[in-house]
Structure 1
Amino acid sequence: MLRKIVIENLGVFRHLSMELAPRLNILCGTNGTGKSFLLDSVWFALTHRWPIEPVTSIKKARIECIGSDSSGDHVDYSASFDRSEQEWTWSPDKFDNTGLVFYARADGSLCVADSVQGNSLALSLHEIWNGREKSGKFVCEGLVSDVLKWQNRRSEELAMFEKILEVLSPSNFKIRLSLPTRISLDDVRDIPTVALPYGNVPVLHTSSGIRRILTLAYCLTWVYSEHCRACNVAGMSYDSRMTFLMDDVEANLHPDWQGSILESIFAAISALRGSLENVQLFVATKSPMVTDWAKVHFDFPLDGMLELREDEKNT
């Protein structure tokens, strides 16, 4: 868990210092003020890897953090960029701070890091839906294949996925799985469908808002189930620490849906893990509906909000 982050001469920031809330951190502001880059920086602080390499200043780029290790003790650590070597140097060089880190990016891609598996993974939106193969082995089978497999097996993952879909649904209807179907003579796959108020729709043909929620529900289910499997294989207990990052949390959603999405994400993570204990969330938004919900439901000092403004991004 992160307690504080300081960014020097990196990306759009000449200097930014941010005290972090232990539960929910909302980053708000207009386009181009650095919300996405701040999420990238949090990911980097936790995993020591950038999702996309940032632009470094002529001056020395540096990130300083205060975090909590696996025992809950506070630890100071930092990273500096060596321009001549074109690499980041960490002090201390090893720090057990991650647990499970989940980052849903604005372009629909996913970055995930798992301290049990000891690696991080980045999947494009296409790979999330259709899978990724590496060296003859599947890293991820994808939403279409996995959901169909879960339905056929009536697995625990299916129950988890359906529960998360239910709590992420809009207030006026519930998104529920229905029977798989074929959608083309040229595609021999059975495709999962969802039951919507106007009928059953193949997941590949759903609206952008429904697809966003299907993607989020699948990624949460898949990431957590893979974490549990890795723990079982390694003979380890489940890591209770989780950091959830999501950019453009309101993207493709109706304003009414935007107003309830944070509450739904809370419920989804609670359904996944049983509680929000040891979970820290970072979400970026430019939606007044999201921030209005937060102003009513915030629980200080557990939650916090940072508004980035254009005239402050380099100060």
Structure 2
Amino acid sequence: MLKELHLKRVGPAPQFDVELAQRLNIFTGDNGLGKTFLLDIVWWILTLNWVEHPAWPHREREVSPEIICHLSNQKEKEAYRSRFDFSQQKWLSQQMPPQFRGLVIYARVNGGFSVFDPARQRHSAYNFTPDTLWNGYRLKGKVLCNGLLQDWVNWQRQPDQSTFQLLSSVIQQLAPQPGESMEPGEPMRVSVEDVRDIPTVCLPYGNVPVIYTSAGMKRILGLAYLLVWTWYEHTQASKLLQTDPLNQIVLLIDEVESHLHPRWQRSLVPAILEVMTQLQPTMKVQAFVTTHSPLVLASVEPSFDEQQDRLFLLELQGEAVTLNEFPWTKQGDTVGWLTSEIFGLKQARSTEAEMAIEAAETWMRGESMDAFADNLKTPSQIQQQLERLLPGHDPFWPRWIVTMEAGR
């Protein structure tokens, strides 16, 4: 597993240095500070492939752009590195680790997935678009993947139901609980122009063909399928090669909350960690997750283990981007997370409501109101804005009402 990562003159900062957790690594921070970039770097280190574009180096001549990593199974203090060669315009592996002996799955925010399986392709990876994930992946006359639609139905109709049962279990585990279960239904034809039987999912209001499910559900179904497909095909390849299946998997998920309702956001990460043991009870899992969601962070509070999990924050300080491990502290709920240093909001409200309350608090302290807009200068103006912006049960009202009545 990946233990340390050191980047020089590549990405949004002159240098990043990070010691990684052995199980769960969560990266958060504002847009554009390098969360997806870090996942791309991790993918490159473990697979020696880039998903799309190679990491773009800084162009200063003084220091060579460099990617350095430490793996948990390597000798102490030995670093593996790759440097960017400007003359060849590519990253060269000057001293990279032996091929990672594990599976790597990358769920990208655009709906694509990438899979690296050294038992099947030792020097390249499978990069799925949403279309090839669902309808099949073919390259140079070879069928690399039948696709979700065909594999699902084939597994469902095989006499040996073990793979389909695993898929069903993973889908049910990833769905929010309770009251919003999701499990496979019977395949059905949906069009006179398409001869395929399409898988369906049983939802509380009926069976729905998977091609007509929401964007959020499609991402969950795609992830469930990729997890099962990757493991199934890896075991098949291991049988042909007469080797034992690997017992390590690295999972990269960019913006894990993408397209998902809050119910799904607050259950997905714990469910993913639990699902991995369904593939193989002795499976060692290292996950790298990026998120903007306070619900995702709140969801891992019960299971977060500081011995094997870490939270990292990317921040813009002046003109410099920094990456630091953030001490884990339970915040209790989404409001606590939103107003914590991780997200940095003063209040979990609209900006207008926040400004009105700040004006009210400033007036209650007897301080100057010069910094506020013309409609927030006097108590009556503040009262008018509070009535417009705050619900009647807002916890700020008692303080304001008591202060106003005392001043009469």
What's the TM-score bracket when you normalise by the shorter of the two chains? Answer: over 0.9
Equivalent residues in 2 for 1:93-242, closer than 5 Å: 93=96, 95-117=98-120, 118=122, 119-154=124-159, 155-171=161-177, 172-242=179-249
Q: 1:15 offset after TM fit, Å? A: 0.9
Q: Tell me, in whole angstroms, the C-alpha distance in 1 between the residues paired with 2:75 and 2:9.
A: 29
Counterpart in the other structure of 1:62: 66
Q: Tell me, in whole angstroms, the C-alpha distance in 1 between the residues paired with 2:287 and 2:26.
A: 8
More strand by share: 1
Q: Tell me, in whole angstroms, the C-alpha distance in 1 between the residues paired with 2:16 and 2:96.
A: 23
Unaligned runs of 5+ residues in structure 1 are none
Q: Tell me, in whole angstroms, the C-alpha distance in 2 between the residues paired with 1:102 and 1:78.
A: 22
Q: Tell me, in whole angstroms, the C-alpha distance in 1 between the residues paired with 2:170 and 2:127.
A: 22
Aligned-partner SS, 2:252: strand
Q: 1:226 offset after TM fit, Å? A: 0.8
Q: Contact conserved, 1:46 with 1:98, CA < 8 A, in 2?
A: no
Counterpart in the other structure of 1:21: 21
Q: Which moved more, 1:9-18 or 1:84-93?
A: 84-93
Q: Tell me, in whole angstroms, the C-alpha distance in 1 between the residues paired with 2:190 and 2:212.
A: 9
One-letter code of the match for 1:55? W
Q: Contact conserved, 1:68 with 1:97, CA < 8 A, in 2?
A: no
Q: Tell me, in whole angstroms, the C-alpha distance in 2 between the residues paired with 1:73 and 1:57.
A: 30
One-letter code of the match for 2:136? G
One-letter code of the match for 1:215? G
Q: Contact conserved, 1:250 with 1:285, CA < 8 A, in 2?
A: yes
Bigger Rg, which one: 2
Unaligned runs of 5+ residues in structure 2 are 324-408
1:251 to 243, 258, 278: 258
Q: 1:181 offset after TM fit, Å? A: 1.0
Name the TM-score, length of structure 2 as normaliser.
0.73
Deviations 1:238-293 (A, max 9, x none): 11111111111011111121111111101211111214x52111111010001122
Aligned-partner SS, 1:212: helix
Q: Find out whether 1:43 has 2:48 as its counterpart.
A: no
Deviations 1:116-163 (A, max 9, x none): 221421111111001122222211110011101111114322111001
Deviations 1:174-225 (A, max 9, x none): 2111111111111111111111000010000011121111101000010111
Q: Contact conserved, 2:270 with 2:300, CA < 8 A, in 1?
A: no
Q: 1:3 offset after TM fit, Å? A: 0.5
Q: Find out whether 1:290 has 2:296 as its counterpart.
A: yes
Q: 1:23 offset after TM fit, Å? A: 0.6
Q: Tell me, in whole angstroms, the C-alpha distance in 1 between the residues paired with 2:188 and 2:200.
A: 7
Q: Tell me, in whole angstroms, the C-alpha distance in 1 between the residues paired with 2:101 and 2:32.
A: 28
Q: Tell me, in whole angstroms, the C-alpha distance in 2 between the residues paired with 1:98 and 1:36.
A: 24
Q: Find out whether 1:281 has 2:255 as its counterpart.
A: no
Q: Is the alpha carbon distance of 1:126 and 1:225 closer, same or farther for their aligned partners in structure 2, counting shifts above 3 Å?
A: same
Q: Tell me, in whole angstroms, the C-alpha distance in 2 between the residues paired with 1:174 and 1:94.
A: 43
Q: Tell me, in whole angstroms, the C-alpha distance in 2 between the residues paired with 1:239 and 1:127.
A: 25
One-letter code of the match for 1:54? A
Deviations 1:89-120 (A, max 9, x none): 22325513241111111111111111222142
Q: Tell me, in whole angstroms, the C-alpha distance in 1 between the residues paired with 2:244 and 2:214.
A: 39
Q: Is the alpha carbon distance of 1:63 and 1:281 closer, same or farther for their aligned partners in structure 2, counting shifts above 3 Å?
A: same
Counterpart in the other structure of 2:306: 300
Q: Tell me, in whole angstroms, the C-alpha distance in 2 between the residues paired with 1:314 and 1:294.
A: 24
Q: Tell me, in whole angstroms, the C-alpha distance in 2 between the residues paired with 1:266 and 1:131.
A: 27
Q: Tell me, in whole angstroms, the C-alpha distance in 2 between the residues paired with 1:94 and 1:2.
A: 11
Q: 1:30 offset after TM fit, Å? A: 1.9
What is the alpha-carbon root mean square deviation over aligned residues?
A: 1.6
Q: Tell me, in whole angstroms, the C-alpha distance in 1 between the residues paired with 2:322 and 2:260.
A: 31
Q: Tell me, in whole angstroms, the C-alpha distance in 2 between the residues paired with 1:49 and 1:123.
A: 14
Deviations 1:39-78 (A, max 9, x none): 0011111111111222221032111101034xx6555201
One-letter code of the match for 1:241? Q
Q: Tell me, in whole angstroms, the C-alpha distance in 1 between the residues paired with 2:97 and 2:256.
A: 32
Q: Is the alpha carbon distance of 1:28 and 1:94 closer, same or farther for their aligned partners in structure 2, counting shifts above 3 Å?
A: closer
Q: Tell me, in whole angstroms, the C-alpha distance in 1 between the residues paired with 2:238 and 2:136.
A: 23
Counterpart in the other structure of 1:2: 2
Q: Tell me, in whole angstroms, the C-alpha distance in 1 between the residues paired with 2:316 and 2:189.
A: 49
